[in-house]
Chains A and B, each alone.
Chain A
């Protein structure tokens, strides 16, 4: 079995070799296959076993050997998102709620923290001096005219990342064109590259938004419009992929939280790529990611912990930033930092009490990550409930809330 991609999102990705074997002739990534899959996903079930996953090309839940649970993987309107609520400590079983019930599910004195990074148009067309085309997917924010990311050969998101041809060879010092701009290769390490753009900042940003598109994967063939991958509070464009746990947070809900005495605060975390199609690279995901925590957020987090309130992270990028900045279980450093920590079942959060996340099935790496917040058995029950009610595990799908009573 190969290493799974890093599933920050509830995105349909696959454990590749195995999924190929299982999928066989199901779909080839065309739009029709993908759309058909949306209607079928919910009913795809099979008995027995523990592992299931979603196929990147078709978006269909792929039933692995002995799979028990399959979630559908269609897009859900951000106004209609449902959520499985898990209390990791209590004996109460997971239950189904509307996401809009969030203000009622938390308590006055709790703090909700969101990641306000806007999603970059991070998929950029490039060309070598010799005329070979490539794609650069930005893996983080643009700084000082530097574009850092992962290279792919010809093709686009409709081809699964691991099936994309290798990128043309480039070396430091080479001149390339990226998003219509002239750039010099500043560094290359395997398929990771950093390009230094030779134009002023205004022209650089104009070119990025003119030529770039949001990074997306083969399970959805239609291009994602830029607006569709932004949260309702997105600010600076720092994210390579949408911090999607916050997608269903409408202002109705955000203001409802305030009215219920639940504080809402933000940080900015440069959510990176969730998959590169390259085993070695994927095993190291998530890479170190930059974050910035404003004074108000740091203070509210400290006060909330001191009062015995709960700090609820909207998405694992928020968990990563807050935990990276934690000094102890009551205080966090404000300002900038780089999050390097990896979350798994053995990780004991210091600041974050609970989180909102997309839905993930056992076998996905993101499922293991959620195990930092609830026992795996409880999470499996939650996923079974999600399957029973036809919830979607798409990154633009339904949600789960893990919060101790």
Chain B
């Protein structure tokens, strides 16, 4: 899909990968609705994008809150028009330091699922129908290698991402032929606030920057042949086109 002129929505857009994705999309000419819980940091990112000549809008909302979903989608489409690209990036680890599953409070598991699985599902229900009826759109679920591997103490996050991968695959199967492409993308390790919370003693200088990962993910959105619907892609293994 050509990015220029498209309406896009990115959740968790005030920092890290979400911010980088919003900036990349705006730089390529998309009208971008940025969603995050807190308005303050979001406004700084939006101001930065506008300063570089891009179109960006700030929407304060919590994807984990059921009542926030239609307002988020409505504001986004009021501001940027039809949404053709939606990136489910917002996610939570749950309480850190991370705990063993047997030490994880049930409520904490439920809260992680609300943010990482149910929230994106609700938002997809609102946005993907409009894409499918028009015959064009790309949905991206930001996944993790934790969706596949068994890392002790990552249980809640891991389960949420594994379930989201399945949601992505089944949506792709159900929407086959409608023109809506559904991807799950493991961005790999990155130097983000979330990474620091999970692995405080990691060597940050050795970690890829979110901006470099975002370049790859935006290419996946553009390149349908190499990123077909239903695929689960791993950003560090994505061969950058020149």
User: Chain A: residues with CB nearer than 8 A to chain B?
Assistant: 114, 116, 118, 120-121, 142, 201-202, 205-206, 208-210, 226-227, 230-237, 251, 254-255, 258, 264-266, 294, 296
Given contacts A202-B79, A226-B71, contact A232 B129 (CB under 8 A): yes
B78 at the interface (CB under 8 A from A): yes
Across the A-B interface, the 10 shortest Cβ-Cβ residue pairs:
A235-B130, A209-B71, A233-B133, A233-B129, A205-B75, A226-B70, A266-B133, A236-B77, A205-B78, A232-B129
B126 at the interface (CB under 8 A from A): yes
19 more CB-based (< 8 A) A-B contacts, given A205-B74, A209-B74, A237-B78: A118-B74, A201-B57, A202-B59, A205-B59, A205-B75, A205-B78, A208-B75, A208-B78, A226-B70, A226-B71, A227-B70, A231-B129, A234-B130, A235-B83, A251-B132, A255-B178, A258-B177, A294-B134, A296-B135
Q: Which of A233, A258, A264 contacts B130 (CB 8 A)?
A: A233
Closest B residue to A209 by beta carbon equals B71
A202 touches B74 (CB 8 A): no
B78 touches A254 (CB 8 A): no
Task: Please indicate which of the listed interface residues B69, B71, B74, B77 has the most CB atoms of chain A within 10 Å of its own CB.
Answer: B74
B221 at the interface (CB under 8 A from A): no
Given contacts A209-B74, A210-B71, A230-B70, contact A201 B79 (CB under 8 A): yes
Task: Please indicate which of the listed interface residues B78, B134, B174, B177 has the most CB atoms of chain A within 10 Å of its own CB.
Answer: B78
Given contacts A205-B78, A205-B79, contact A251 B71 (CB under 8 A): no
- Binary flags per residue of B181-216, CB closer than 8 Å to A gives 1, else 0: 000000000000000000000000000000000000
A234 touches B129 (CB 8 A): yes
A118 touches B57 (CB 8 A): no
CA distance A396 to B78 in the complex (A): 25
Q: Enumerate 25 A-B pairs (CB-CB under 8 Å) in ascending A order.
A: A116-B130, A116-B133, A116-B134, A121-B71, A142-B78, A202-B57, A202-B79, A205-B74, A206-B59, A206-B75, A208-B75, A208-B78, A210-B71, A227-B69, A227-B70, A230-B70, A231-B129, A232-B129, A233-B129, A233-B130, A233-B132, A235-B77, A237-B77, A254-B132, A264-B133
Closest A residue to B82 by beta carbon equals A235
Task: Please indicate which of the listed interface residues A121, A202, A227 has the most CB atoms of chain B within 10 Å of its own CB.
Answer: A202
In the complex, chain A residues whose CB is within 8 Å of the CB of B132: 233, 251, 254
CA distance A264 to B134 in the complex (A): 9
Within 8 A of A (CB), among B16-51: 46
Could you say which interface size class chain B belongs to? 20 to 34
In the complex, chain B residues whose CB is within 8 Å of the CB of A294: 134
CA distance A235 to B70 in the complex (A): 11
In the complex, chain B residues whose CB is within 8 Å of the CB of A233: 129-130, 132-133
B81 at the interface (CB under 8 A from A): yes
User: Chain B: residues with CB nearer than 8 A to chain A?
Assistant: 46, 57-60, 69-71, 73-75, 77-79, 81-83, 126, 129-130, 132-135, 174, 177-178
In the complex, chain B residues whose CB is within 8 Å of the CB of A114: 133
Q: Which of A116, A237, A255 contacts B74 (CB 8 A)?
A: A237
In the complex, chain B residues whose CB is within 8 Å of the CB of A205: 59, 74-75, 78-79
CA distance A258 to B176 in the complex (A): 11
Closest A residue to B66 by beta carbon equals A227
In the complex, chain B residues whose CB is within 8 Å of the CB of A232: 129
Q: Which of B69, B81, B135 contacts A236 (CB 8 A)?
A: B81
| Distance in Å: Cβ of B76 to nearest Cβ of chain A | 9
| Distance in Å: Cβ of A53 to nearest Cβ of chain B | 32
Closest A residue to B132 by beta carbon equals A233
Closest B residue to A236 by beta carbon equals B77
| Distance in Å: Cβ of B196 to nearest Cβ of chain A | 30
Given contacts A202-B79, A209-B74, A236-B81, contact A266 B134 (CB under 8 A): yes
CA distance A114 to B134 in the complex (A): 10
| Distance in Å: Cβ of A114 to nearest Cβ of chain B | 6
In the complex, chain A residues whose CB is within 8 Å of the CB of B78: 142, 205, 208, 236-237
In the complex, chain B residues whose CB is within 8 Å of the CB of A230: 70, 126
| Distance in Å: Cβ of B69 to nearest Cβ of chain A | 8
| Distance in Å: Cβ of A335 to nearest Cβ of chain B | 14
CA distance A237 to B71 in the complex (A): 10
| Distance in Å: Cβ of A45 to nearest Cβ of chain B | 39
CA distance A227 to B67 in the complex (A): 9
